[in-house]
Every structure is written in C-alpha cells, then in structure tokens.
Structure 1
Amino acid sequence: MGQVKKDGSSWYFVAELPKDPITGKRKRKKQRGFKTKREAEKALAQVEAEVIRGTYIEPTNTLYKDYLLLEWFRGKKATINSQTAKSYENYMNHRIIPKLGHIPLSQLNVMVLQNYIYSLKEDGLASATIKKIYNIIRNSLEHAKTLELLAKNPATNIQLPKIEKTEMTVWNVEESKAFLHIAREDRLYVAFHLAITTGMRQGEILGLRWKYVDLEKGVIRICQTLSHDGKEFLVGAKTASSVRSIKLPDETIVLLRKHKAVIARERLQVGQEYVDHDPVICTSKGTPILPANLRRTYARLIKQADVPAIRFHDLRHTHATLLLSQGVHAKVISERLGHSNIKTTLDIYSHVLPNMQDEAAKQINNLLSNSQ
C-alpha cells in the first residue's frame, strides 16, 4: 500500500512496486516535489493503477540522444538505404539532438515535443521538413515503447503544422520544345530528354545503366539510382513501387541508339583509363555525372532557351501534366512515375484535372451531336 507524506513545504509519495524478478525483493518508488497533498495522491493512484494493470514501467535516466543513436538508429539503419540513413543522421545531429538530446527519455512528454515542433516552424522550416523530423521522433519513441522503456508514445498526439501546397510550376509543350532545342547540342541532352519523355527522377536518370535498357523492345527498367553526392549507385529506387519499367517513345529509342554509339567511340579513344560502370549518362571517361553538375548545366540551358526557370524535378511534373492534357489515363501515368497508387497521382496533379473538364464536355457534346 502506497503512502503520501509531507516533507517541509512539499509532498511526496512512496509506491509499492512488483518484486524484482531476479532478486525477488520488493521494490519501492519515491517521487518528491508535489505542491499539494492532492497532487501527490493523484500521482500515486496513477502509479498504483499501472502496477495493477501490469503496464507500469520504471522511468529510465537514459538521455534521448544516447537512446536515439546507440539503440534506435543502430537498428533502423539496417532497414533503410544508405541515402535515407544519411538524411536521418543529418536531421538527428543538426535538428533533434541539439534541442532534445539532453532530455532523459522518460521526460519527453507531449508538451515538450509540441513546443519543439512549434520551434521548428518558427525557425522557418517547411511543413514537409518538419513532418520528416517528426516521423523520426515518433518512430524512435514507438520503438522505445516496444522495448518497454516508455509506457506510451508521447509523440502520438502531437499536432503538426498544416502542409501548404505550393503551386506547381511546369512547362507547356512550346516551352518544353524550346528547351530541348537549345539543349540538343549539350552532352547532357539525353538526361533532359529522358526527364521530359519518361518522368524519371534525377537519381534514376543518373543511375540508369545500359544493361537496364532494352532498345529492341523500347523499354527501360528502373531498379537503381545514383546517390545525391554522386559517389555510389544504390540498388532499388525511392520506394518499392518506384522499381518499374517504362515504355520509351520512338524518338527516345533513336536518340539512345546514337548516344550509345558515341559512348562506344569514347571508350575506344580513352582506352584503359576509361571507367566502365556502364552508365547511360556519363562523362567522356565513363564516370557518373555529379548531380550538382547536371543541375548547373540545366540552369545554364534554361537561360539560353529563355524559358521559365523550374526545378529539374519539375520536368517530372511536366511529363505528367503533358500526358494528362493529352487524355492519357491517370493509371498509366501513375505506373510510369512509379507512384504506389493512382490516388497519389490524382492528388499531385489535381490542378490539371479541372482544365480537362472542358475537353470532356466538348467530347461528349460531339458524340451526342453526331449521333442525332
């Protein structure tokens, strides 16, 4: 039976805990610092209720930073690719640990975490970035709960800032043609052409190898990417659904045949110094193109073509919106982009759909008019 006692001007409680399973000795929990007797009694009742239910967990003194790095991340990084692991480490070392790392794991509560999320928003971080940081915290604390270091996950009830959708910027047909016309003489033209005609991501384009290109069938297989720093090829893609096959337009097949012939001549000219990793997009010596160099060339060509400046990733959006505007079914586009389901595609490109309503109305009008 627990007790509540006064100690000077404050109160404390002593609770009877279950016996130690190893020594068989009865344990007690003492907690001080309550301003009133009622507060102490309420806290004692909560502990006793948890003991009866068998859900009581002795608070740990382990700091969150030690648990995060030495326990959670050590196991987590074995289940994710190296690029994602680097992203996690960056968020932990630069965002999470400086603010929360010194707090004991058992003292991370809803108020502490909610104030932390507010501080990220005040620092000007984008809502999407805050969500990524939050997911690391939530996932790590859920694991702590599984290990019975926490009775519950305090991150579960955190309120995240609303993700504000930014207006998507894409090129229309004329702008896409203008850019490709200017880029045609550049060594990296194939990369830009693939981005617009297939919707591939930057890492997928730079990580594409010839062994995954079937020019006879006109199909490429996406099952490898180049890391953001350009130092390694990563097996797989961004998600499981991103591993996919894409049918190529005839013009792209012709372009790739010519490009492959150029690379073959360069390999002979360079000789033994040629680094043959088999990438479709590479330097004259066979080494992969660094993402930063691709973006630098891309920015230069945009100025020369005098078209609106959009991100390289927006070429992927351009591919999708061009197809939607031509009446291609969203399911087909979803498969080309490697989305997990068609709902993702419709959510991203919902802005295009209202413009297609007019065309749909015209089509049904023509059908009915011609039938009369």
Structure 2
Amino acid sequence: MKNGLPYKPYEVEVKPGVFKTYYRVQVEGINKFTGKRVQKKQSGITSKPKAESIAAELRYLCKNEKPTRQGLDTWGELKDYYLDDLSGDIRSSSNPIGISPALFATKRSRLKHLDLWQDLHLDLVNQRDLKKYLDNLEVLKGVSRALTIDIQKEAKAMMSYAYESGIMESNPLSGMKHRKAVKKRKLALNPQEVEVFLGEARLRKHPYFLPWLLAISLGMRRSELAGLRWTDLDLEKGLVDLQRQHIPGEGVVERLKSGQSRMVGIPKQIVPELKATKLKSKSDYVIDPKTPYWADGKQAKVTKDFCREIGIKEVTFHNLRATHITLAVQCDIPVGVIKENVGHSSLHITDGYVRASGMHIKGKMDKLGISVPQADEGQVITLKSANGGGDE
C-alpha cells in the first residue's frame, strides 16, 4: 500500500453520524510452487494489531499456499490436463529420456474405459465407487481382470499426479488395495521342446533361426535383440554390452527399458554360430532388419505359427525369454545372476519364474521318507463247496 504498511484504515458509518474505523489488508509474494506472484486481500478488520497479524498470515500463504484445482473440477477436465502434460514428455530427439509414444497411447487407452466419469466432480471420486465400476466392467462387458488391474493403476497414477502437482489437496485413491490377479503359469518350452524347436528351424533354414537361438540363449527382449550390433559383442570374452533397443514405429532408442545399459553373458556353445554368421553378415545389426516381419514387430505370430506347424507347445517370441529364465533356473544358476542377465528391475520378478518352474520345491518332499508297503505276491486258492460237490 502507498503508506508502506500492509494495511490501511478506513471508516464505515455504522449509525447516522457514528463512524467506526476498520482496516484493509493487502499483501503479495512469489508462490514457491508456481513461481508466480500472488496477491491476497482482506477487509473488515477491527483493530490494528489484528490487521498486522492477518497481514503476516496472508503473506505466508502467498508464498507457501499449495495451489489447488487450477480450475479443474471434474474427472474429465483432470484427465485432459493430465494427458496433455504427459504428451509433452513423449520421447523424442530433444527429449531422449521421455516416455515412449506406445506407453502414452496405452495410458490414454486405459483411462478411456472410465469415460462415464467425465462429468464426475473430483470431490466425489472414491475407492469404493472405482472398485464397483471396475467390477461391473468385468461382469457386464467381459473386460479381463488383467485390463481392470491396469485401468486401476492408471487411475491411481492420475490422482497421484493431481496431488503431487498441487491440483488436489489429497489423493482419494491413495492406499487403494490392488485387484487380485489371476495367476497364470508362465509359458515356456522345456529342454526337449527347445531341441525340437531349434532343430526344426535349422533343418528348414527358417529365417528366424538366429533370432530364436539368441532369444533362448541370451534371454534378451525382442527390442533389445533388434538394436543389437556386432560391435556390442565381445565373442572372445563371451559378453554383450547391451545399450540400445529398436522399437517398431519409433526406431532405434539409445536407452534400454530400465534406463541403464547392462552386460549379458553369451553361452560358449553359441559362439561358433555367431562367428560364422558375422562372417556372412552384410548388416551392422546382429539380426538383419530385413528379416521378414522383424522390423514391424510381428515376430510373435511367426513364432506361434512355427510351433503349431512342428507340433510343439505354442509359444510367442516373448515366451522364449521366459524359456531362457526357466532353463537357467533348472541349471541352478543363482537367481541374482539371472536377474542381472535379463535386466529385471527387482529380484521379486525373477523369483516369480523360479516359483513357476517348480524348481524351488523339486525333490524337497523326498525328505519325508515315506515308505510304501509292498504287497506280497498273491496265491490262487481253489474253493470247493462244503459237500465236496461242484457248482450246481
């Protein structure tokens, strides 16, 4: 204010000819959350000490008050704001560590299942209604449990974003229980099926022999194999320096899914095959990008069709990664080593494969020492009637 103080007196006629002095406070400050200048006012204050106290409170709020809502009142408005913000973080040449376009599309698709909440006021969002809504999607529309789990995760992510961004003062979905997933056994080929699978691929000179061999032997993701160059391989040391991936529709990304490069061990049994292939290769990439259906990411169907053709368990290309992990578990390779080799984010994920393989309980029940009684060989006894006669 012009007098240099945060408050200014003014008079109000409370009765004819009777005036009372009040104070008007006006302060401002830079808000630490938004970086913007904020101004606050209050009138009708009855004394100078109160005006000074209120001025101090308002000045504190200008600087430290967490902005809320930003004009967003409904679920639909928040969703549009959230997706718009996320779209600015999509990976590009100028933003190499952003999210992938495919992940953004997936997030948008999951939230679309909640479009009936478009006009729902944010104050009415609660865990019970979300659970009921997802239950109805499964029962009435046949949506899978796996998808409703993903929808719930995305709804929680959006509400966490709203809280952390200062849009909402609290997160109504915080602490919401996870929907229980239907546990499925991880599909993988057993050693005998692997032998048939690779043997038939070699015999038929299938263009996917090398991709399949590497997927089973190295346990790498399809995107990692697609980005693998010969210069990444040290065949003398038996190591791969994995540092990039190739994603269909996006191209080469100089960053792995985990965000960090990693070393992968090469089994010595496949080194001669790699050396022979390298001599004949005309590509910088270990797997020629011209391999049919490889660049556009349709290898899952190619793999499944081949399994059906040769009469073994039908698996996808990604299941060959599970095959690698299962084989490693069966060979008693330490779980920690497997985790590092395949690039799992936590030991819990790798342990899931151990449990799915049954290797953690194989032979353990032998210690019960149960002895099964053996039956004596039976003897044939001829029965005769009491009067010595035969059958009537």
Does residue 1:202 correspond to 2:213, yes or no?
no
Residue in 2 that maps onto 1:117: 134
Q: In 2, Cα distance between the equivalents of 1:116 and 1:188?
A: 44
Q: In 2, Cα distance between the equivalents of 1:58 and 1:178?
A: 61
Q: Kindly tell me: are residues 354 and 283 of structure 1, through their superposed partners in 2, closer, same or farther at Cα, counting changes over 3 Å?
A: closer
Residue in 2 that maps onto 1:132: 150
Q: In 2, Cα distance between the equivalents of 1:328 and 1:244?
A: 18
Q: Kindly tell me: are residues 286 and 315 of structure 1, through their superposed partners in 2, closer, same or farther at Cα, counting changes over 3 Å?
A: closer
Per-residue deviation, 1:256? 2.0
Residue in 1 that maps onto 2:240: 220
Does residue 1:165 correspond to 2:183, yes or no?
yes
Q: Kindly tell me: are residues 103 and 244 of structure 1, through their superposed partners in 2, closer, same or farther at Cα, counting changes over 3 Å?
A: same
Q: In 1, Cα distance between the equivalents of 2:212 and 2:84?
A: 37
Q: Kindly tell me: are residues 234 and 111 of structure 1, through their superposed partners in 2, closer, same or farther at Cα, counting changes over 3 Å?
A: same
Q: Which runs of 5+ in 2 are unaligned?
A: 1-25, 28-37, 45-64, 90-97, 368-392
Q: In 1, Cα distance between the equivalents of 2:291 and 2:309?
A: 27
Q: In 2, Cα distance between the equivalents of 1:320 and 1:332?
A: 11
Of 218, 235, 244, which residue of structure 1 is paired with 2:254? 235
Question: SS of the residue aligned with 1:313?
Answer: helix
Q: Kindly tell me: are residues 130 and 237 of structure 1, through their superposed partners in 2, closer, same or farther at Cα, counting changes over 3 Å?
A: farther
Per-residue deviation, 1:71? 4.2
Q: What is the total number of aligned residue pairs between the two structures? A: 303
Structure (1 or 2) with the larger CA radius of gyration: 2
Per-residue deviation, 1:231? 4.2
Q: Kindly tell me: are residues 230 and 301 of structure 1, through their superposed partners in 2, closer, same or farther at Cα, counting changes over 3 Å?
A: farther
Per-residue deviation, 1:248? 0.6
Q: How does 1:54-203 map to 2 (within 5 A)?
A: 60-71=71-82, 73-75=84-86, 78=89, 79-92=98-111, 94-96=112-114, 98-122=115-139, 123-184=141-202, 185-203=205-223
Q: Which amino acid aligns with 1:125?
A: V
Q: Indicate the structure whose relative CO is greater, using CA pairs within 8 Å and at least 6 residues apart.
A: 1
Q: Kindly tell me: are residues 62 and 285 of structure 1, through their superposed partners in 2, closer, same or farther at Cα, counting changes over 3 Å?
A: same
Q: In 2, Cα distance between the equivalents of 1:138 and 1:82?
A: 21
Q: Kindly tell me: are residues 22 and 258 of structure 1, through their superposed partners in 2, closer, same or farther at Cα, counting changes over 3 Å?
A: same
Residue in 1 that maps onto 2:352: 347
Residue in 2 that maps onto 1:337: 342
Q: In 2, Cα distance between the equivalents of 1:308 and 1:287?
A: 22
TM superposition score normalised by structure 1: 0.70
Q: Which amino acid aligns with 1:113?
A: L
Residue in 2 that maps onto 1:279: 285
Per-residue deviation, 1:114? 2.7
Q: How does 1:293-372 map to 2 (within 5 A)?
A: 294-354=299-359, 357-358=362-363
Q: Which amino acid aligns with 2:101?
A: S
Q: Kindly tell me: are residues 126 and 77 of structure 1, through their superposed partners in 2, closer, same or farther at Cα, counting changes over 3 Å?
A: farther
More helix by share: 1
Q: Is residue 263–residue 284 contact of structure 1 (8 Å, CA) maintained in 2?
A: no
Residue in 2 that maps onto 1:31: none
Of the structure 1 ranges 101-110 and 173-182, higher mean CA displacement relative to structure 2 is found in: 101-110
TM superposition score normalised by structure 2: 0.67
Q: In 2, Cα distance between the equivalents of 1:161 and 1:189?
A: 40
Q: Which amino acid aligns with 1:310?
A: V
